[in-house]
C-alpha cells in the first residue's frame, strides 16, 4: 500500500472524510484479494474516534450480526497498516452483561494488548497520540489464522495492525454501545 498521511482524510476544517477512509480500506482489501460484496460496500463504516489522527488511530468495520435476543455478535474489523483501535473495555450496562470477544486474523497480522504481565520490550511502537491513555502492556502477535481473546470480562484491551494492515473476524457476545468505555476521555464514538 502507498504511505498514508492524515491530510488525506480530513478537509480544510479538520472534518473526517469518511469516503476517503473507506476507499483506503477497499484498496487494502484489494491488496489482500479480499472479496468486497455489495453489502460490505454499503454497510461498512469508518471512524477516527474523533481524535484527528486517523492514520494511526481508527478502524473500519461491518456488523454482520448483533442479536440482542440470542446474545451473539459477528463483526469484521479492518485496520490500515499500523492503525490502532483505541484502548477500551466492555462493562455491564443495565441488563446487558460485559461483552466477551475473540479475534481471528484473516489477512495481515495484529498485535493485541491486554491486561496482564507487561511484555518487555514491547514488539511494536504505539501511536504517540495515545501514549498517556494506554494502560495495558501484555502484547501478543497474532498471525493469519490465529485467534486471541479477552482474558476476562471488562478487561481493558486494544489491537494494532501490523505493517500490511489487517482484516480480523470478531466472535463475541451481544454488543451494546452503552457498555463501551474508552481510557482516552476525548474519544467520540
Distance CA 15, CA 30 (A): 26
Q: Taking the model in full, what pTM does it have? A: 0.96
Average pLDDT over residues 156-173: 97
pLDDT digits (tens, 9 = 90+) for 67-115: 999 999 999 999 999 999 999 999 999 999 999 999 999 999 999 999 9
Q: CA neighbours within 13 Å on the CB side: how many for 161?
A: 26
Contacts of 169 (CB under 8 A, 6+ apart): 74, 75, 76, 77, 103, 104, 106
Of 136, 149, 61, which is closest to residue 126 (Cα–Cα)?
136
Angle (nearest 5°) at CA 114 between 66 and 160? 75
Average pLDDT over residues 3-18: 95
Distance CA 54, CA 52 (A): 6
Give the pLDDT confidence score for residue 2 in this predicted structure: 67
Average pLDDT over residues 116-140: 96
Q: Answer whether CATH 2.60.120.10 is correct for domain 14-182.
A: yes
One-character DSSP codes across 95-122: TBPPP-EEEEEEEEEEEEEESSSPPSS-
- In the chain, what are the domain boundaries? 14-182
Amino acid at each position: 500500500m502507498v504511505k498514508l498521511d492524515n491530510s488525506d482524510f480530513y478537509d480544510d476544517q479538520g472534518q473526517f472524510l469518511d469516503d476517503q477512509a473507506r476507499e483506503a480500506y477497499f484498496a487494502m482489501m484489494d491488496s489482500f484479494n479480499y472479496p468486497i460484496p455489495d453489502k460490505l460496500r454499503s454497510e461498512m463504516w469508518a471512524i477516527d474516534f474523533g481524535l484527528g489522527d486517523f492514520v494511526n488511530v481508527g478502524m473500519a468495520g461491518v456488523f454482520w450480526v448483533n442479536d440482542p435476543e440470542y446474545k451473539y455478535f459477528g463483526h469484521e474489523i479492518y485496520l490500515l497498516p499500523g492503525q490502532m483501535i483505541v484502548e477500551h473495555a466492555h462493562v455491564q450496562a443495565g441488563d446487558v452483561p460485559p461483552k466477551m470477544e475473540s479475534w481471528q486474523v484473516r489477512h495481515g497480522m495484529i498485535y493485541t494488548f491486554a491486561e496482564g504481565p507487561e511484555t518487555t520490550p514491547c514488539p511494536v511502537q504505539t501511536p504517540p497520540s495515545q501514549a498517556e491513555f494506554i494502560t495495558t502492556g501484555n502484547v501478543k502477535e497474532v498471525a493469519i489464522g490465529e485467534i486471541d481473546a479477552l482474558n476476562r470480562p471488562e478487561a481493558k484491551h486494544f489491537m494494532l495492525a501490523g505493517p500490511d494492515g489487517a482484516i480480523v473476524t470478531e466472535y463475541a457476545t451481544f454488543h451494546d454501545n452503552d457498555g463501551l468505555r474508552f481510557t482516552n476521555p476525548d474519544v467520540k464514538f
